Structure 1
Amino acid sequence: MLTAREVAAYLRLTITTVYNLAASGELRGFKIGKSWRFERSEVLKRIAVASRR
């Protein structure tokens, strides 16, 4: 599990962008309390989709 901060660093995005992607469903994640968590496989899928553009 990755935090939003870790995902932002990994994808070279701002944390706000990660939250927006999660809220819009473009980056699948789930909330534990107030914190977002992301599967590493979902982050890798996001990279694959972005590289096809």
Structure 2
Amino acid sequence: MTNTENRWFSIHAICEHLGVSRDTVYKWIDKHAMPAHRMGRLWKFKKDEVDEWVKAGGAAAEEKKQESGDKK
């Protein structure tokens, strides 16, 4: 693993990596247990942790639960 792959990503970098907005990432941290680490005022991310979270269903699993609850 190279140093660039193992570095901490900023909110801007993780948004670019995932192709989503900052608001979406903040929502995922708050409501969907997205792996993120608070360093003072800043949120930092490990790319491999975030990628595994996405592969495991991450936000999609929670959104499906909410959608099925809305249909009842």
TM-score range, shorter-chain basis? 0.7 to 0.9
**Residue 11 of structure 2 aligns with which residue?**
4
Which runs of no fewer than 5 residues in structure 2 stay unpaired?
Answer: 1-7, 61-72
Larger fraction in helix: 2
Tell me the TM-score normalized by structure 1.
Answer: 0.76
Q: 1:31 aligns with which of 30, 33, 38?
A: 38
What is the root-mean-square deviation of aligned Cα atoms in Å?
Answer: 1.7
Normalised TM-score (structure 2) = 0.59
Matched positions, count: 51
Identity %: 18
Point out where structure 1 has 5 or more consecutive residues left out of the alignment: none
CA distance in 2, matches of 1:46, 1:11: 12
Structure 1 segments, 4+ long, off by >3 Å, are none
Write the distance in 1 (CA, Å) between the matches of 2:56 and 2:40: 29
